[in-house]
């Protein structure tokens, strides 16, 4: 679709937190937090003419490669939050997008995301086939206090869970949706850590896509300040998650 007449290089979008998005304590789930951030990013891409539908004309899609989320507080049921997004860098097949969540005028979440253009037929990265010069870039306007870091996966990791990828894990790109990886890992975290909001930040690294019926293993390394999960297929790492605790 053409570029929206309402397009701006910085988008702010309001969302009301509904009960399906909340944990038993009434606060927004970490997975639904990521969903809201990505839905806002998708809305901005749609307005700017580089949405999934636009890109599918060239068998392309945006796929998430890395994501860092820093959390001061979580919103709760019936809160109305504003998610703001802009692009730090965009060139060829790669883009870094910034996102922030605000509640009552106060920033409560910041997120830095790294995206790649992915050919959905060839299943590999390639240069974006659509024009994007109309997006103004803001390389100095960072949404997080820290940038992406290297997640160190210890070879002494403990096997926690084995899983077969099922249909409900897949998204429109026909691979495991990025939030599903997070969900699988958080289901293995102590419930008090989640419900007491002891996670101050987390970072995800998506290394290899997973498909229907893939057999995967979830591993864990734990320290006083962080928990690192990794997901592997045939002993090769596909995903890493680092939870930084308060």
Q: Which CATH number does the domain housing residue 221 bear? A: 3.10.129.10
Q: How many domains does the chain have?
A: 2
Residue 205: beta bridge partners?
A: 66, 240
Same domain, 16 and 88: yes
pLDDT of residue 157: 79
Is residue 4 over pLDDT 80? Answer: yes
Same domain, 153 and 49: no
Q: Which of 46, 176, 59 is nearest to 128 (CA)?
A: 59
Same domain, 54 and 23: yes
> Beta-strand (E) ranges in the chain?
11-16, 60-71, 80-91, 94-103, 106-119, 124-125, 158-164, 199-206, 215-222, 226-233, 236-245
- Which sign does the torsion angle of CA 93, 54, 45, 186 carry? negative
pTM, entire model: 0.95
Same domain, 211 and 229: yes
**Mean pLDDT score of the chain, rounded to an integer?**
95
Same domain, 182 and 118: no
pLDDT of residue 225: 79
Same domain, 114 and 192: no
The span from the first CA to the last CA of the chain, in angstroms, equals 44
Single out the residue in 89, 117, 148 at which a domain terminates: 148
> How far, CA to CA in Å, does 189 sit from each of 21, 86, 166?
18, 32, 22
Q: How does DSSP assign 103-130, residue by residue? A: ETTEEEEEEEEEEEEEETTTTEE----S
Is residue 39 over pLDDT 90? Answer: yes
Domain that holds residue 138: 1-148
Tokens of 226: 């962080």
Is residue 40 over pLDDT 80? Answer: yes
Is residue 111 over pLDDT 90? Answer: yes
Q: How does DSSP assign 203-225, residue by residue? A: EEEE-S---TT-EEEEEEEE-SS
pLDDT of residue 1: 65
Q: What is the pLDDT of residues 132-175, one digit of tens each?
A: 999 999 999 999 999 998 898 887 778 999 999 999 999 999 99
pLDDT of residue 238: 97
Single out the residue in 99, 120, 148 at which a domain terminates: 148
Same domain, 186 and 84: no
pLDDT of residue 241: 97
Q: What is the pLDDT of residues 188-224, one digit of tens each?
A: 999 999 999 999 999 999 999 999 999 999 999 887 7
């Amino acid at each position: 679709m053409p570029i929206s007449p309402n397009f701006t290089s910085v988008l702010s979008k309001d969302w009301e937190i509904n009960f399906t998005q909340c944990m038993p304590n009434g606060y927004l789930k970490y997975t639904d937090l990521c969903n809201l951030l990505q839905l806002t990013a998708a809305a901005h891409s749609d307005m700017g003419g580089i949405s999934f539908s636009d890109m599918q004309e060239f068998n392309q899609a945006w796929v998430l490669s890395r994501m860092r989320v820093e959390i001061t507080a979580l919103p709760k049921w019936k809160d109305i939050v504003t998610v703001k997004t802009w692009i730090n860098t965009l060139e060829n097949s790669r883009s870094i997008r910034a996102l922030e969540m605000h509640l009552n005028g106060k920033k409560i979440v910041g997120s830095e995301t790294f995206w790649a253009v992915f050919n959905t037929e060839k299943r590999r990265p390639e240069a974006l086939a659509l024009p994007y010069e109309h997006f103004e870039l803001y390389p100095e306007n960072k949404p997080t206090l820290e940038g992406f870091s290297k997640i160190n996966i210890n070879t002494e990791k403990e096997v926690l869970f084995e899983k077969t990828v099922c249909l409900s894990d897949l998204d429109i790109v026909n691979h495991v949706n990025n939030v599903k990886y997070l969900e699988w890992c958080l289901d293995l975290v102590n419930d008090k850590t989640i419900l007491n909001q002891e996670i101050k930040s987390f970072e995800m690294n998506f290394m290899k896509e997973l498909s229907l019926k893939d057999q995967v293993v979830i591993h864990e390394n734990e320290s006083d300040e962080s928990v690192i999960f990794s997901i592997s297929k045939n002993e090769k790492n596909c995903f890493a998650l680092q939870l930084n605790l308060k």
